[in-house]
């Protein structure tokens, strides 16, 4: 028939459909590849970081040198273990003052009476003092904790398993962060598997393992203390305060005298005297200095933010007055600039 479309003539092929095409279902082998890939990612994200976390924690809590730590560390090690580096400095000062190797006056000044040292920390103190009254007790208390001799005392405690070494603690923190990232990846892999019914019950297994990893992360979290005693170190410090000759606060009966009292209990346990008063005064002064520094830093940050926010007020920049500018008279002066420009007054 004339005029009949070719698509409708007998023997002609049927016309192509122009409607929306139906999505092609994913092939079974493609789903299997996705499931296997998600399981591999979840396994690598869970097990190696968790094993690293456990190993780093065990490394941080055990001695770096094999052997059993001594029953009683020496005086300065006890001070560092119980009160940190500031307590270490206070103990050195108290020890040398009690031996009459240094003198402290009512003005908080220190001078050397006998230049004799028996420990690197004592040599560090003598290196900061002289035979006159030019050195302040506050300066000694502030600088001695950062002397390399204090680092040696810390390393000694770490080697004996009483204190965590800084390197082991950093590795522990890095392992904990890596394990946390692995848990996030594992949970994401489990979510992917939940949308693949062919993978059941694998997603629930991954979720259970990830939940166990969260519990392990909480139990094995590293402490954020600057100086962190090991369990053996914590037990030793508790025993010092409960029993034995080191638990007394009487300098006359303590095996290390007044220095031993300071090492275990702090400066506040000393009998009232010039040394106690000046050490407490130095501590209060250092605290006030830190507070003022913190407030100054906050004010500086606030003023900087305010200045930067008003630098482009109204779309214009700051204008400045030079010595060559004049405002209707030869003896003009520049007044304070305002937003949008500056004004001059005679």
Q: What is the mean pLDDT of residues 10-30?
A: 53
Q: Is the dihedral of CA 152, 153, 154, 159 positive or negative?
A: positive
- Report the range of poorest mean pLDDT among 23-37, 91-105, 182-196: 23-37
- C-alpha–C-alpha distance, residues 57 and 52, integer Å: 8
Q: Is the pLDDT of residue 72 over 50?
A: yes
Would you state the pLDDT for residue 23?
A: 47
Query: Which tokens is 93 given?
Result: 């000062």
**Interval 219-260: pLDDT, tens:** 888 766 667 788 888 888 888 777 778 888 888 888 888 999
- Long-range residue pairs from 47-53, CB within 8 A, at least 24 positions apart, any chain: 48/182, 49/175, 49/178, 49/179, 49/181, 49/182, 50/179, 50/182, 50/213, 50/216, 52/175, 52/178, 52/179, 53/172, 53/175, 53/176, 53/178, 53/179, 53/216, 53/217, 53/220
89 band by pLDDT with thresholds 50, 70 and 90: very high
Q: Is 69 exposed, middle or buried (CB count within 10 Å of its CB: 0-12, 13-18, 19+)?
A: middle
Q: What is the mean pLDDT of residues 188-197?
A: 85
- C-alpha–C-alpha distance, residues 139 and 119, integer Å: 20
Q: Is 31 exposed, middle or buried (CB count within 10 Å of its CB: 0-12, 13-18, 19+)?
A: middle
Q: Is the pLDDT of residue 175 over 80?
A: yes
Which residue in 157, 140, 158 sits closest to 89, CA to CA? 140
Q: What percent of the chain has pLDDT over 90?
A: 24
Q: What is the mean pLDDT of residues 109-132?
A: 91
How many residues can be counted in the chain?
A: 346
Q: What is the mean pLDDT of residues 79-97?
A: 92
């Amino acid at each position: 028939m004339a005029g009949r479309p070719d698509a409708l003539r007998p023997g002609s092929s049927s016309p192509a459909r122009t409607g929306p095409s139906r999505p092609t279902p994913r092939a079974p082998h493609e789903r299997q590849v996705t499931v296997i890939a998600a399981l591999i990612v979840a396994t690598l994200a869970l097990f190696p970081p968790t094993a690293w976390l456990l190993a780093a924690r065990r490394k941080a809590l055990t001695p770096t040198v094999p052997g059993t730590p001594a029953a009683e560390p020496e005086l300065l090690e006890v001070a560092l273990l119980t009160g940190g580096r500031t307590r270490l400095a206070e103990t050195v000062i108290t020890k040398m003052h009690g031996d009459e190797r240094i003198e402290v006056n009512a003005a908080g000044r220190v001078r050397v009476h006998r230049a004799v040292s028996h420990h690197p920390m004592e040599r560090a103190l003598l290196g900061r003092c002289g035979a006159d009254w030019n050195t302040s007790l506050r300066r000694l208390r502030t600088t001695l904790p950062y002397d390399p001799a204090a680092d040696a005392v810390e390393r000694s405690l770490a080697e004996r398993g009483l204190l965590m070494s800084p390197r082991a603690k950093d590795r522990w923190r890095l392992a904990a962060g890596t394990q946390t990232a692995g848990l996030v990846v594992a949970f994401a892999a489990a979510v992917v598997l939940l949308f693949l019914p062919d993978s059941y019950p694998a997603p629930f297994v991954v979720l259970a393992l990830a939940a166990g990893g969260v519990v392990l992360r909480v139990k094995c979290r590293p402490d954020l203390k600057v100086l962190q005693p090991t369990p053996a170190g914590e037990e030793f410090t508790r025993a010092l305060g409960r029993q034995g000759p080191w638990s007394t606060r009487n300098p006359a009966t303590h095996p290390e005298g007044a220095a031993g009292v300071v090492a275990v209990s702090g400066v506040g346990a000393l009998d009232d005297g010039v040394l106690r008063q000046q050490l407490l005064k130095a501590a209060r002064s250092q605290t006030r200095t830190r507070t003022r520094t913190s407030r100054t830093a906050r004010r500086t940050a606030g003023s900087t933010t305010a200045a930067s926010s008003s630098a482009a007020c109204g779309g214009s920049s700051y204008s400045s007055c030079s010595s060559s500018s004049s405002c209707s008279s030869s003896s003009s002066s520049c007044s304070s600039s305002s937003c949008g420009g500056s004004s001059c007054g005679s």
